[in-house]
Structure 1
Amino acid sequence: MRRPLILALLPLFAACSPTVVRDQPVLVAAPGWGTAQIVLRGDYTGKQVRITLNNKVIVDRRFSAPPPASGDRVPLFTPAMYYWVQVEIEGCPIPVEVRVDVEPDRSSPLMFDGCTVRARLPE
């Protein structure tokens, strides 16, 4: 009789007991975390560039003029800390997939070098 009663009350005791935090909590971005920017830099002038984020095209244009000193900017309102973007460049055989780390109110550069694209940390 005692054993079934104890087993029935065990979840109640566990719920009331203090929890011990052993590790720091994982940082999770809150909804509406902030606005970040992807900055295009490098060798993309004169090429058609298409950038896809979560199956949504965020850039699809030919960059005919050299970028300003700061680069061409693409704003993102994001709840995430990083994204995988797919970059298609005119004249390149296959699209490139790049992980872009983002932070609110910071710029995350995408560096173009021919058919190679790499992301740098937010600055």
Structure 2
Amino acid sequence: MAEHPDVRLLRTALGALNAGDLDACLGCIHPDFLINLAGVAQQLVGRDIWLAGVEQLRAAFPDVRLDIEDIFAADGRVAVRNTIRGTHLGEFQGIAPTGRSIEVMSNEIYRVENGLIVEEWIVTDNATLFAQVTTS
């Protein structure tokens, strides 16, 4: 059975992100990309906001990788369960580098229209992430 085109789009975008090819990743995202983050009251808008967040993450965890655990699509939406892995080698949210490895789960839903990712809803296990970079 052929893979759903929206799943292929997300695999392409996440693969580019893992490879550090942010231009290729941006090519998969609509210019007016809508960002919905758990714990953030206001919706964020635009690829530039997305890029700033990714650059901040990559500065703190230069080897960051999002490994797809589950992915499926229906009705213009793609659900992805990722494991985020990396090493804390740069400042993150005011926390000095620890050299510790992180491994956290992120559940994400993406809305796709006309071959571009137009919106995301991200729920990342930030409690585990912060515990991994602050606990001895």
| TM-score (ref. length: structure 2) | 0.30
Larger proportion of strand: 1
Flag the structure with more relative contact order, 1 or 2, with Cα contacts below 8 A and sequence separation at least 6. 1
State which structure, 1 or 2, has the greater radius of gyration over its C-alpha atoms: 1
Larger proportion of helix: 2
